[in-house]
Chain A
Amino acid sequence: MSLAINNLHARTGQRDILKGLTLEVPSGEVHAIMGPNGSGKSTLAKVLAGHEDYEVTAGTATLDGADILAMEADERSRAGLFLAFQYPIEIPGVSNANFLRAALQARQPEGVELDAVAFYHKMYAKMDVLEMNRQFTSRSVNEGFSGGEKKRNEILQLMMLEPKFAVLDETDSGLDIDALKVVAQGVNAMRSPERGFLVITHYQRLLDYIQPDVVHVLMDGRIVKTGGPDLALKLEAQGYDWLKEEVLVTA
């Protein structure tokens, strides 16, 4: 069981962003992706989640063997893929509770209504873990939320939808240290042998709280190096320049 990405090429408009990206996250593992700004991290996340801005020109991506690139965005989610967005958008008029309910209802068999009482119990329990005020259930999705509140809300969705694989795109950015701990606690509570994570981050800091099994470095649309947690520490201390040179030498 794994999320397997092989030789993925993707572009937007005339511009190639992913240029042969290969990576496999087995269930039960947490992989981190680090890389400089503009290297294609969010693009990878959105390509996996079926965003229409991007066109896949070559390569494959499978979730437990199923070709996710052939699926519509909503099918991918129901197949067990989740993306916590770097920039979650606001949806005026749609309450958080109705939104989550619709997402869970979409996973019910045809004609079976979601158990509303059980839904609220579950939602409140998850919100407690994330130290979210109950008023967030009736507020419009992300509308007027602070950066940190939006990120918590993404993790709430993750906890409610219980995907097989979750991609977290810079969930740490915009969080102060206390919020980061709370969010990490939510993610760690979700770790299980049946679930894999791909944690995209710009800073090593997050990885102190969500410890990865494997660290990948993404530069210019490719994975240029893969290692253990110590690789993140080295990047934190030395930046990416040494890697750029290494890549140039091997290229």
Chain B
Amino acid sequence: MSASVTEPVVDPSVVWTEAGERLMAAAAAADPSALPAWFVERQAAARATYEQLAAPKRKDEHWRFSDLKKLDVSAAIPGSPFTGADATAAVTRSVGLSHPAARIVLGNDMLLHADTAAADGIVVMPLMEALQVHGELIKSHFMAQSAGLGGEKFFSLHAAALRGGVFVYIPPGIEVDRPVELHQWLGGMNASTFPHTLVVAGRGAKVTVIDYFQSLGSEPGFACGVTDLAAGEGATITYVNCQRWSRKVRALHFVSTTAGPNSTVRSAFLHLGAAWARTESFCLASGSGSRSEMLSLAVAEGTQEIDCRTRQIHDQPHTFSNLLFKNVLFDQARTIFSGLILVEEGAHYTDAYQTCRNLLLSEEAEANALPGLEINADQVKCSHGSTSAPLDGEQIYYLRSRGIRESDARQLLALGFCLDVIQRLGDPDLEHVLSSMVEEKFRRMRKA
């Protein structure tokens, strides 16, 4: 035996095994009689898959550039229900747009508040409750496809540990003119959350859903969420996710979009919080005439790492997809964009575009981009590209020539870089809410 004392080497797979057991236990303890059999089976299968799959390694193709050391879950525990002052605080702090069609507030995946009075004819309810009433509808959309972007182990973890979430269903022909707002809170030391948002829009239906992810305090935590968007024929879904976890949270999120014939699906991610956040987005243009737009904006500072992996899949002719991911990097922040457009055989007349733009505001920041394109059909219009650049000197000068101080000029331009993404949502009220969040982050950073 060696006498030397060395740092204990923690095997990541052991960490994940132990963390998984802790996190899945809470869901496994739920009363199975209150849930549809398929769901109980699905969770059990997910548990098995989770245990079977290896923890990711940096060498894996889908984890290139990712700093896996930052995804430390050794201390993660299931979140406890919010009580007393915490519950009240979460509800009062759940402020988004004025007069939403519906507002749901969850704390560590448990319902704190539901205001669905104005949601006439639509379904907005906690997922576990919805499973009992709309089980069959949920079954056909629930985590129907894995993005295949490297996070399968965590995708399974989500399915197995899930005990909260929200189901939004818009029946055919109904257009909801005000957004549905979901506030999903995380609170408590090392607490974990498994936010789940399933949006199903029937034929010709229309809805906007805004998902706010926030931490009650500044403790470390773990979030592993899923969003599924299913647009029926001619339906329109706009989904906005504001990720504002505390700066000590590690977060993974899986988004999958299925765009039916002539449907329009827009998803936008605003990454402001978390120490480490990874999003795997998958969009399937499965219906002729469908249009899907994927947007993302990350403002990363300090040692934040924002990792976005995307896949745009076209398997029917005459479909359109457009992706714009932008990152603003300060300090030693890191971002990763890895995207693939895949045009399957027979998906002729596909229009698919992909752009990643990085604004480097520090020489120590690091933006990685891996754009990709695979075309197996004819008459296709595709493009992809990525740029990384600091602010334009002539633009800074122009602002300064009008008396604006250099630091203000830089901030104004950085904000301008961000607004471009937000404005694509085409909703001035929403634009105001989202840009205020970005501005607030900039302000906080300047004070620090």
Contact = CB atoms under 8 A, between A and B. Distances in A.
A89 interface: yes
A94 B412 contact: yes
Contacts of A103: 399, 402-404
B437 interface: no
A233 interface: no
Contact of B402 (A51, A52, A77): A77
A93 B420 contact: yes
A98 interface: yes
B432 to A, nearest CB: 12
Interface string B407-441: 01100110111111000000000000000000000
A interface: dominant SS? mixed
**Contact residues on A (Cβ < 8 Å of other chain), bracket:** 20 to 34
B408 to A, nearest CB: 6
A204 B288 CA distance: 61
Contacts of A51: 397, 401
A49 interface: yes
A88 B420 CA distance: 21
Contacts of B405: 74, 106
Interface in B390-407: 393-395, 397-406
Given A88-B398, A89-B395, A91-B395, A161 B403 contact: yes
Nearest to A81: B401
A99 B420 contact: no
Contact of B401 (A50, A93, A140): A50
B415 A99 contact: no
A77 B403 contact: yes
Interface string A70-94: 0011101110000101001101111
A78 B409 CA distance: 14
B55 to A, nearest CB: 40
A50 B397 CA distance: 9
Contacts of A91: 395, 398-399, 413, 416
Contacts of A49: 401
Nearest to B403: A77
A73 B398 CA distance: 9
A83 to B, nearest CB: 6
A78 B401 contact: no
Given A74-B405, A91-B416, A92-B420, A102 B398 contact: no
A134 B417 CA distance: 23
Nearest to B421: A93
A43 interface: no
A241 to B, nearest CB: 35
Contacts of A92: 416-417, 420
Contact of B412 (A89, A99, A107, A161): A99
A93 B408 contact: no
A171 interface: no
Given A91-B395, A161-B403, A102 B408 contact: yes
A106 B419 CA distance: 22
Given A52-B393, A94-B412, A98-B412, A74 B401 contact: yes
A83 B393 contact: no
Closest 9 CB pairs of A and B: A93-B416, A77-B403, A94-B416, A103-B402, A74-B400, A73-B400, A78-B403, A106-B403, A93-B419
Interface of B: 393-395, 397-406, 408-409, 412-413, 415-420
Interface of A: 49-52, 72-74, 76-78, 83, 85, 88-89, 91-94, 98-99, 102-103, 106-107, 140-141, 157, 161
